[in-house]
């Protein structure tokens, strides 16, 4: 009887071993890895059943996302810590047309925030522009910022500055005033949905103004409102006799926006290049980056008067950013940041595609 029980137990043991061998996975040397391999096999079987997995869709970045990334950039700048930025692989950074490593340049010298910020998020282009004041060794500076965003990460950073002493004294005072009081409320008033223009229309209006500066054409109707106000580096330079631009009886700053184009003063401009414009239909804003060449002239004829131009008597370049507030197809506000650069210097970025509408020539 004992012998029979032992034989039965031995037979049962052999049967259990055989069953375990049949269930065991020959590719798994240890039972601790079996669950992981099982999950891998399930994923592989799923791919075989449904075909290759589609690539992940690009993560959209709406206007709030774009504006938040601009704020993130400013916070990282003030913290002197570029590591706070969500950067795309291969992200590029320029300051006044010079490619730098993020963390260099103004990142080293910024000393505080400012009182003015104007955002231009362009959801269609995946870009956001910012005009704002900051402090550099406690002196106000005006900064223009452009970010290109891909999958909610920053792939391009472009910056430009107007610093104290880089222009006339009235420009320094303008930046200080802008920092202290900010822009007028029109810039931040949303356009009613039914009255909003397309981004393309806003870009065309901005391009028309730039075209009028480069080559005024009396036969072209420029999209300028009768109450248009132009500011340069924070200072009002339309209908303002307190600022003098010109001389010998001519003062550009006393004229309105359209009259300034008609006057002939901008004839010293011999070329514009690397125009890139983004737009925000919700607020009727366009932001244009452009490089301006002036080949050198001793005088210009403005309003029929020959006006000497000592400051323009040699070839020079200007890199500028123009912000436009546009309502019902007409420009009501212009704010620009200007800084001198070497003659015919580029900004370090490719020129944008030309606008589809006429540029005011």
| Rounded Cα gap, residues 70 and 127, in angstroms | 10
Which domains are seen in the chain, by residue range?
63-341 (3.10.450.50)
Question: What DSSP string runs through 90-105?
Answer: EEEEEETTEE--BTBT
| Rounded Cα gap, residues 332 and 323, in angstroms | 11
| Rounded Cα gap, residues 266 and 292, in angstroms | 11
| Rounded Cα gap, residues 86 and 151, in angstroms | 10
Contact 65, 153 (CB under 8 A): no
Contact 210, 359 (CB under 8 A): yes
Residue 48 CB-density burial (10 A; 0-12 exposed, 13-18 middle, 19+ buried): exposed
What does the pLDDT profile of the chain (361 residues) look like in tens digits?
444 444 444 444 444 444 444 344 433 334 333 333 333 333 333 333 333 334 445 688 999 999 999 999 999 999 999 999 999 999 999 999 999 999 999 999 999 999 999 999 999 999 999 999 999 999 999 999 999 999 999 999 999 999 999 999 999 999 999 999 998 999 999 999 999 999 999 999 999 999 999 999 999 999 999 999 999 999 999 999 999 999 999 999 999 999 999 999 999 999 999 999 999 999 999 999 999 999 999 999 999 999 999 999 999 999 999 999 999 999 999 999 999 999 999 999 987 655 444 333 3
Return the pLDDT at 351.
75
Residue 292 CB-density burial (10 A; 0-12 exposed, 13-18 middle, 19+ buried): buried
Length of the chain: 361
Residue 312 CB-density burial (10 A; 0-12 exposed, 13-18 middle, 19+ buried): middle
Coil, helix or strand at residue 207 = helix
Q: Name the strand (E) or helix (H) holding 228.
A: strand 224-232
| Rounded Cα gap, residues 289 and 194, in angstroms | 29
Q: Are strands 87-95 and 98-99 parallel, antiparallel or unpaired?
A: antiparallel
Q: Name the strand (E) or helix (H) holding 320.
A: strand 316-327
Radius of gyration of the CA atoms of the chain, in A: 31
């Amino acid at each position: 009887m004992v012998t029979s029980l032992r034989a039965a137990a031995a037979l049962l043991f052999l049967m259990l071993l055989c069953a375990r061998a049949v269930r065991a996975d020959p590719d798994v040397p240890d039972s601790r890895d079996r669950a992981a391999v099982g999950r891998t096999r399930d994923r592989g079987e799923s791919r075989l059943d449904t075909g290759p997995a589609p690539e992940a869709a690009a993560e959209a970045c709406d206007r709030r996302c774009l504006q938040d990334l601009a704020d993130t950039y400013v916070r990282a700048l003030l913290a002197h810590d570029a590591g706070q930025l969500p950067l795309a692989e291969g992200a590029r950074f320029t300051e006044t047309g010079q490619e730098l490593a993020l963390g260099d340049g103004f990142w080293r010298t910024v000393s505080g925030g400012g009182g003015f910020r104007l955002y231009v998020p362009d959801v269609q282009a995946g870009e956001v522009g910012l005009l704002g004041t900051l402090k550099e060794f406690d002196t106000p500076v005006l900064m223009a910022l452009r970010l290109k965003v891909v999958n909610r990460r920053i792939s391009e950073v472009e910056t430009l500055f107007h610093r104290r002493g880089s222009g006339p004294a009235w420009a320094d005072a303008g930046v200080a005033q802008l920092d202290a009081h900010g822009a007028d409320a029109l810039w931040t008033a949303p356009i009613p949905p039914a009255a909003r223009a397309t981004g393309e229309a806003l870009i065309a209006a901005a391009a028309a103004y730039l075209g009028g500066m480069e080559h005024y054409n009396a036969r072209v109707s420029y999209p300028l409102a009768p109450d248009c106000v132009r500011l340069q580096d924070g200072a009002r330079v339309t209908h303002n006799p307190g600022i003098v631009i010109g001389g010998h009886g001519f003062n550009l700053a006393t004229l309105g926006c359209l009259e300034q184009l008609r006057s002939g003063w901008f004839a010293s401009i011999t070329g514009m290049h690397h125009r890139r414009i983004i737009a925000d239909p919700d607020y009727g804003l366009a932001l244009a980056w452009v490089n301006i060449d002036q080949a050198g002239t001793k005088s210009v004829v403005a309003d029929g008067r020959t006006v000497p131009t000592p400051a323009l008597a040699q070839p020079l370049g200007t890199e500028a950013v123009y912000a436009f507030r546009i309502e019902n197809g007409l420009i009501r506000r212009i704010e620009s940041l200007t800084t001198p650069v070497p003659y015919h210097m580029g900004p370090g970025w490719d020129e944008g595609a030309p606008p589809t509408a006429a540029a005011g020539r």
